[in-house]
Amino acid sequence: QVQLVESGGGLVQTGGSLRLSCAASGIIFRFNAMGWHRQAPGKQRELVAVITSGGSTNYADSVKGRFTISRDNAKNTVYLQMNSLKPEDTAVYYCRNWDGTRGSWGQGTQVTVSS
């Protein structure tokens, strides 16, 4: 069974920072691309950032320059460093893996940015 467990969400003021973590089990972590997605109430889930098994990264335009995705294969963990946070970043943030064929979702962690 695949388990993806997010942590690190919380309440922060505009301009503040948070670091999200996602601990993975039940997969061969180094063979998986890992991504962060977010979903605000009443809106579609959107891709925020992805890091491939080789370490290449891609970001949504809305977070480029502010967020950084990274991975630690020895710890089976992917991170999302979020800086210069804005109220529009408020959402539930979800971790996802992809092994080339399929993936799974974590349970999500709430990020709230106050104006």
Strand 46-51 with 18-25, pairing: unpaired
The count of C-alpha atoms lying within 13 angstroms of the C-alpha of 83, restricted to the half-sphere facing its C-beta, is 7
pLDDT band at 25 (very low <50, low <70, confident <90, very high): very high
- In angstroms, rounded to a whole number, what is the distance separating the alpha carbons of residues 39 and 54? 27
Confidence at residue 42, expressed as pLDDT on a 0 to 100 scale: 93
pLDDT by residue (tens digit) across 39-85?
999 999 999 999 999 999 999 999 999 999 999 999 999 999 999 99
What pLDDT is attached to residue 69?
A: 98
